[in-house]
Amino acid sequence: MNRDIRQFVNHHLGAVEFQYDPILKGGSDRTFYRVRVPGGSTFIFMEYGTDVEENAYWAEINRFMTEIGMPVPRIIAFDFRKRFMLLEDLGDADLYSLRAAPWRKRRRHYLTALSGIHRLHRTPLSDVPASLKLCRGYDRSLYAWEHAYFRENFVEAVCGLSLSGPQERDWAEEMEALIDRLQKIPECLIHRDFQSQNIMIRNDRPVFLDFQGMRTGNLFYDLGSLICDPYVSFSSSERNELVAFYYRIMEPDYSFEKFIDYFWEGAAQRLMQALGAYGFLGLKKNKPDFLRHTAGGIRNLAAAASQTGTMPVLKELARTCANKIGRAHV
């Protein structure tokens, strides 16, 4: 911890002496410390870099989410110029840490998390302040970018596969059709990384993290992030319960069957992005732990692509990739 950080912590906590421990945070390019002051109180210090523009949006998005009643960490101090932030300490328990717990224990946290993210999804876009900086919203080019990201960093780099000839043509047509359908879903605000490691459990209630990538998109991207999360496992009945719960609280003006189709296609889109990220972080950023999650991710993607009759090329590709990964781990 350098001198500037020490001075920032000293000034805002009034503690000349304090202890600190680094916190490793997944694929983030941010620096985190847990700060402990005399008396035992703890806080989280965060420093974000300049490489990822969306990191600078964190504080304002946090304020906006607080205003609309969403559970997010309390900001104690913020220095925009130095990119320093001091936050309340939410502890170490998140949904991921509960992954081995019985469903009867996890269930209520997932239902509460879905109720919380619904508050974001239902917020009218007209209520978003014009001054609030958000990442670029989902459009044709961003959906297509995620497809290319998946192919380059996962299909080719991790699985050693390539598409050519008729398969290349069929893939392109299928992805264009998927984009067409996703763009017909009403637009709303989405978290964009709504998964178990970004949902802390504080005082037995979920609190959301890593929302700096918030943007406009389709809500099924978030639902797929959580309910088809490669980091954890669900039985079919557990997954079905969560999907049905969100349908009930959303009360859309279309059938449950159509909702299910939207869900699986949104989940497939999200899983392609996640698998691309695992390959990119694991191989290009030298963070091999992410590669451990590719088996769960590709299994979920194969399942998602199998649930509708609209993605046969993706279904076959996912199964081929799953077999390649399975053999690599034998």
Final residue of a structural domain among 45, 62, 88:
88
Q: Cα 144 from chain centroid?
A: 18
pLDDT at residue 27, rounded to an integer: 58
Same domain for 131 and 77, yes or no, is no
Check: CB of residue 59 under 8 Å from CB of residue 78: yes
Shared domain check, 76 and 108:
no
Cβ-based neighbours of 250, under 8 Å, separated by 6 or more: 118, 121, 122, 219
Query: What is the pTM (predicted TM-score) of this model?
Result: 0.93
Q: Are residues 147 and 293 in the same domain?
A: yes
pLDDT score, position 99: 96
pLDDT tens, residue by residue, 173-208? 999 999 999 999 999 999 999 999 999 999 999 999
Consecutive H or E run containing 43: strand 42-47
**Crossing angle between the packed helical segments 219-227 and 103-121, to the nearest 10 degrees:** 170
Q: Is 194 exposed, middle or buried (0-12, 13-18, 19+ CB in 10 A)?
A: buried
**Are 144 and 18 part of one and the same domain?**
no
CA distance 329 to 241: 32
Residues 79, 172 contacting (CB under 8 angstroms): no
CATH number of the domain within which 61 lies: 3.30.200.20
Distance CA 18, CA 165 (A): 62
- Of 45, 18, 43, 21, the C-alpha closest to 31 is 45
| Res. 142: pLDDT tops 80 | yes
Strand partners, 46: 32, 85
Helices (H), 14-69: 58-67
Task: Compute the Cα dihedral for 150, 154, 159, 161 and give only its sign.
Answer: positive
Domain span at 108:
96-328
Both structure tokens of 33: 């410390």
State whether 27 and 148 are in the same domain.
no
Per-residue pLDDT for 53 more than 80? Answer: no
